Amino acid sequence: MNPADLPRELTCVPPPETDALLAAVRAVAQGPLKQQVEAIDRQGHYPRAVLQELAKLGAMSAHLDMPAGPGSYALAIQAMAEVSRVCGATGFMMWCQAVCGLYMQQSGNPGLMGDVLLRHASGAGLGGTALSNPMKSYAQIESLLLRATPVEGGYLVNGNLPWVSNLGSDHYFGAIAAVMAGDAPADREVMFLLRCDAPGVELRECPSFSAMEGTGTWGVRLKDHFIGAGEIMADPAKPYIARIRAAFVMLQCGMAVGVTQGAIDSMWAVESQLGHVNQFLEDRPDTLQAELDALTRRVMTLADTPFEPSAEFFIDVLDARAHGAELCLRAAQSALMHQGARGYLMSSEVQRRVRESHFVAIVTPAIKHLRKEIARLSAEEQPA
């Protein structure tokens, strides 16, 4: 039997409720989502209904502590992988929604928790994250793009963000601005929830991307946008980011695992016909599957302690995320080699996945950013 025909779990042996959630997520991914993938990729269709269906199942809030019970990062990552296996763009939006929920819950701000968070978890509220620029700023790759000027009761925020995903006119996202002392930065940042329909917020169309067109990605211009106590997630932001950074990065592994699995599926799909010649290729599906399974087990272990504060743990998370991106690139490329001309058709999921794998490699933290951080933190860890 062709291994691609087997209902393959992306984990070892999940407990029953995990099993039920993943089966429901898989049904949405292989059903309504699969039918829309081409429209998402080629026409920029934003799959709002699918995202809301996934949210109702608990797929994007599985990591959050809820009245029903404590969260599971392992489950959230597996759910994202099931979706990314079919559509990398939707898998990325699951991550956007999931980290936005993480920001809200970890803020401890009553205005962003309780019913507001439950609304977010249910998918009635949709949101994203604009933390690429701050994450790169903390890694000394670029400077902060938003500036927050203190005023009575809060801040006025100004600046432009080039791209923020999972947005629409009624959406919101977590952002960070440099706090100003007069004309100069005050060496402190503030993190806040930014609502797209608030005064002083303008969404601007982005240029066309090579993939991820249906991800609701917009440029955001802020002109004297007021944020007050109800929006603040962390002030100062740095200690908060240090607390959530491993959780933020590890959740992205769901995208890498899923896109890689989808590429392996495409290799098996042509095995009976082309195996006689494909056997001469590198990165065969059984080898890649073994590497992916080992990486998945590693990520599942890391997911047991998402808020472990040590630098050593964070380095391990960065390394697993980098391995995921590299494996994803190799698998997508190898799937194209395995499928040949049929994989080169514009309508083929194989060439779409090549473009999706490029995104996994460049979305913050990009492979180069991951390597820079691993080098910096490892040097700090060395005894003097």
Ligand X SMILES: Cc1cc2nc3c(=O)[nH]c(=O)nc-3n(C[C@H](O)[C@H](O)[C@H](O)COP(=O)(O)OP(=O)(O)OC[C@H]3O[C@@H](n4cnc5c(N)ncnc54)[C@H](O)[C@@H]3O)c2cc1C
- Please, what is the minimum distance in Å from the beta carbon of residue 150 to ligand X? 24
- Choose one: 42-50, 80-88, 357-365, 371-379; the region binding ligand X (CB under 6 A): 357-365
Distance CA 343, CA 191 (A): 43
Please name which of 87, 68, 74, 71 lies closest in space to residue 26, comparing C-alpha atoms: 87
Interaction between residue 357 and ligand X (CB under 6 A): no
What is the Cα Rg of the chain in Å? Answer: 21
Q: For ligand X, which residue of 321, 353, 358, 369 counts as binding (CB under 6 A)? A: 369
Interaction between residue 126 and ligand X (CB under 6 A): no
Distance CA 180, CA 222 (A): 15
Q: Which is nearer to ligand X, 116 or 141 (CB)?
A: 141
Q: Which is nearer to ligand X, 130 or 322 (CB)?
A: 130
Please name which of 216, 197, 295, 246 lies closest in space to residue 73, comparing C-alpha atoms: 246
Q: For ligand X, which residue of 57, 96, 292, 327 counts as binding (CB under 6 A)? A: 96
Interaction between residue 363 and ligand X (CB under 6 A): yes
CB atoms within 10 A of CB 16: 7
Q: Which is nearer to ligand X, 293 or 319 (CB)?
A: 319
Strand 172-181 to 146-151 pairing: parallel
Residue type, 305: T
User: Quick one: residue 212, left, alpha or beta (phi over 0 = left, psi -120 to 50 = alpha)?
Assistant: left
CB atoms within 10 A of CB 167: 26
**Could you give the 3-state DSSP secondary structure of residue 278?**
helix
Q: Which is nearer to ligand X, 219 or 275 (CB)?
A: 219
- Please, what is the minimum distance in Å from the beta carbon of residue 128 to ligand X? 5
CB atoms within 10 A of CB 313: 16
Site residues for ligand X, 27-56, by CB under 6 A, read none
Interaction between residue 366 and ligand X (CB under 6 A): yes
Q: For ligand X, which residue of 103, 163, 240, 248 counts as binding (CB under 6 A)? A: 163
Q: For ligand X, which residue of 162, 168, 185, 275 counts as binding (CB under 6 A)? A: 162
Phi, psi of 62 (to 5 degrees): -60, -25
- Please report where in the chains the tokens 């980011």 appear, as a residue: 241
Contact status, residue 64 vs residue 252, Cβ threshold 8 Å: no
Q: Which is nearer to ligand X, 41 or 231 (CB)?
A: 41
Interaction between residue 362 and ligand X (CB under 6 A): yes
Phi, psi of 176 (to 5 degrees): -130, 135
Q: For ligand X, which residue of 165, 334, 351, 357 counts as binding (CB under 6 A)? A: 165
First to last CA, the chain: 57
Partners of 226 in beta bridges: 156
Q: Which is nearer to ligand X, 288 or 363 (CB)?
A: 363
Q: Which is nearer to ligand X, 79 or 145 (CB)?
A: 145
Residue 319 buriedness (CB in 10 A; 0-12 / 13-18 / 19+): middle
Q: For ligand X, which residue of 62, 130, 190, 249 counts as binding (CB under 6 A)? A: 130
Interaction between residue 220 and ligand X (CB under 6 A): no
- Please, what is the minimum distance in Å from the beta carbon of residue 56 to ligand X? 23
Distance CA 44, CA 216 (A): 8
Q: Which is nearer to ligand X, 132 or 261 (CB)?
A: 132
- Please, what is the minimum distance in Å from the beta carbon of residue 370 to ligand X? 10
Interaction between residue 196 and ligand X (CB under 6 A): no
Interaction between residue 142 and ligand X (CB under 6 A): yes
Interaction between residue 131 and ligand X (CB under 6 A): yes
Distance CA 36, CA 246 (A): 32
The closest residue (CB) to ligand X is 132
- Please, what is the minimum distance in Å from the beta carbon of residue 212 to ligand X? 4
- Site residues (CB under 6 A) for ligand X? 96, 128-132, 136, 142, 162-165, 209, 212, 215, 217, 362-364, 366, 369
